[in-house]
């Protein structure tokens, strides 16, 4: 059981890392004033394809909140926190 827990924990750690990469790349593109670089587009595509299947169902239930010209994605935040909690549980098995 400990081996399965560690394996699940490492997979969740990788998922959390990809989510962090997604956030950083999204912010880079949002704050960039120059034309979008090819590496940024490819990186965002990979990060979104890995994380969106998990975030999209949550986003249907919990849509983003609009605050002026900004939108806060609560689904991303909820999935991120849930992944951290599940990773902690998996490593403790």
Q: Which two tokens stand for residue 10?
A: 């490492």
Q: Using 50, 70 and 90 to split pLDDT, how confident is the model at 82?
A: very high
Render pLDDT for 37-80 as a digit per residue (tens, 0 to 9): 888 889 999 999 999 999 999 999 998 888 888 888 899 999 99
Model's pTM, two decimal places? 0.87
In this model, does residue 81 exceed pLDDT 80? yes
Bridge partners (DSSP) of residue 67 are: 70
Cα(40)–Cα(83) distance, integer angstroms: 25
Higher pLDDT, 42 or 34: 42
């Amino acid at each position: 059981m400990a081996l399965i827990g560690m394996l699940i924990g490492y997979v969740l750690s990788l998922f959390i890392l990809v989510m962090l990469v997604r956030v950083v790349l999204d912010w880079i593109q949002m704050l960039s004033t120059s034309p979008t670089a090819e590496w940024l587009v490819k990186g965002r595509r990979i990060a979104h394809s890995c994380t969106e299947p998990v975030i999209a169902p949550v986003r249907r239930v919990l849509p983003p909140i609009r605050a002026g010209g900004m939108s806060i994605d609560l689904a991303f935040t909820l999935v991120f926190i849930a992944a951290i909690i599940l990773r902690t549980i998996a490593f403790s098995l």
